[in-house]
Amino acid sequence: MKKVFLLALCATVFLGFKKKSPDKVLIFSLTKGYHHASIADGITAIQKIGETDNFSVDTTTNPAMFTDANLKQYKALIFLSPTGNALLNADQQKAFVNYIHKGGGFVGIHAATDCLYDWDWYGKLVGAYFTKHPKIQPANLNIIDTKHPSTKMLPQTWQHTDEWYNFKQVSPDINVLMKIDETSYTGGEMNGNHPMAWYQKFEGGRVFYTALGHTKEDFTTDNLFLQHLTGGINYALNR
């Protein structure tokens, strides 16, 4: 009897310490407009981040993946520079909304603001829409929030080279993480109040967006950008 009890106790302890399954994220990168060459590098970079930060990565350009049954397995959706309208039909949009309402995370990278212009809900979720950009050039980024996991490792003034988006319909509800100094480059059109990364809690979900990520170098050699992205993904995963 004692032996049976000990075996049962051991089994209970083993189950109690059973390793937790890693979180799962889904990268969505369908392009109906401009296709960024850096998407492939971004996928590889996020897969590597997942290996070190204990989450698994699925990738798709298929909007049919947006169903209630499929999305519920993911803790965060990552929109990696999708472009264009008509990316999701009405049923797929509904599944996306349901996913956020149930506490799902969302990460938008670069051209995530250059899609779905005809869907007001998405614009509020992602936080703004892209309008235009100047040529790729270096500029100074001023870190506004030094405690967020996506920015706490960055220098107060970060000189970075990227494709600098101008925005319209900037949501008043976003929490700005960094702004670009429009005097440090040519082509800024937001009168000095020019956010480049932000986060928000939105209708039950957690949202992180960074306008950086145009170049291949962002995902292959820029360690500060990769740390910035890692922190943003972990925020969306509610870690």
State the DSSP code for 83: B
Tell whether the model's pLDDT for residue 86 goes beyond 80. yes
Tell whether the model's pLDDT for residue 5 goes beyond 80. no
Please state, in angstroms and rounded to a whole number, the distance separating the CA atoms of residues 11 and 95. Answer: 39
Tell whether the model's pLDDT for residue 11 goes beyond 60. no
Please state, in angstroms and rounded to a whole number, the distance separating the CA atoms of residues 156 and 150. Answer: 13
Domain ranges across the chain: 23-236
Which residues, at least 6 apart from 86, have a Cβ–Cβ distance to it below 8 Å? 32
Contact 82, 28 (CB under 8 A): yes
Query: Confidence class of residue 13 from pLDDT cuts 50, 70 and 90?
Result: very low
To the nearest whole percent, how much of the chain has pLDDT over 70? Answer: 92
DSSP string, 134-203: --SEEEEEEES-SSSTTTTTS-SEEEEEE----EES--TT-EEEEEE-GGGSS---STT--EEEEEEEET
Query: Confidence class of residue 38 from pLDDT cuts 50, 70 and 90?
Result: very high
Provide the token pair at 73: 């397995």
Query: Confidence class of residue 20 from pLDDT cuts 50, 70 and 90?
Result: confident
Angle between helices 223-236 and 39-53 (to 10 degrees): 70
- The top-level CATH class assigned to 23-236 is alpha beta
Provide the token pair at 149: 């996991």
Tell me what the pLDDT averaged over the chain comes to. 94
**Taking CA 85 as the corner, what is the angle to CA 161 and CA 93, rounded to the nearest 5 degrees?**
110
Tell whether the model's pLDDT for residue 19 goes beyond 80. no
Please state, in angstroms and rounded to a whole number, the distance separating the CA atoms of residues 55 and 73. Answer: 12
**HSE-CB of 173 using CA atoms within 13 angstroms:** 12
Contact 209, 113 (CB under 8 A): yes
Please state, in angstroms and rounded to a whole number, the distance separating the CA atoms of residues 66 and 88. Answer: 8
Residue for token digits 């937790």? 20
In this prediction, residues 47-53 reach a mean pLDDT of 98
How long, in residues, is the chain?
239
